[in-house]
């Protein structure tokens, strides 16, 4: 049985964080944890979703989604 299979999820996370900070240092370990490369092609998706709308229509749509208290 490997050591990791007997560890709790919390213990695995703590050991992983310890390894990251020892190897990369705290700042770069945090940068690694926060890195999200995303996916897809946002420019293409944006044009498909919003390309036919005017800025006024987009603003009106946002305004309509706000809670009533925020509109006042």
In a domain, 51, yes or no: yes
In a domain, 61, yes or no: yes
Secondary structure (H, E, C), the chain: CCCHHHCCHHHHHHHHHHHHHHHHCHHHHHHHHHCCCCCCCHHHHHHHHHCCCCHHHHHHHHHHHCCHHHHC
pLDDT reported for residue 39: 84
**In the chain, how many domains are there?**
2
pTM score above 0.85 = no
Structure confidence at residue 71 (pLDDT): 52
The predicted pLDDT at position 72 comes to 54
pLDDT tens string, the chain, 72 residues long: the values are 466 678 999 999 999 999 999 999 999 999 999 988 888 888 899 889 888 888 999 889 888 888 775 555
Asked if residue 13 and residue 30 are part of one domain, the reply reads yes
Asked if residue 71 is part of any domain, the answer here is: no
**How many whole angstroms separate alpha carbon 19 and alpha carbon 65?**
44
Q: Give the domain range for residue 46.
A: 42-66
């Amino acid at each position: 049985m490997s050591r990791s299979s007997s560890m709790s999820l919390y213990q695995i996370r703590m050991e992983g964080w310890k390894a990251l900070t020892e190897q990369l240092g705290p700042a770069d370990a945090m940068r690694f944890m926060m890195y999200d490369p995303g996916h897809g092609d946002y420019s293409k998706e944006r044009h498909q979703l919003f390309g036919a709308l005017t800025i006024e229509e987009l603003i009106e749509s946002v305004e309509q989604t706000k809670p009533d208290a925020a509109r006042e």
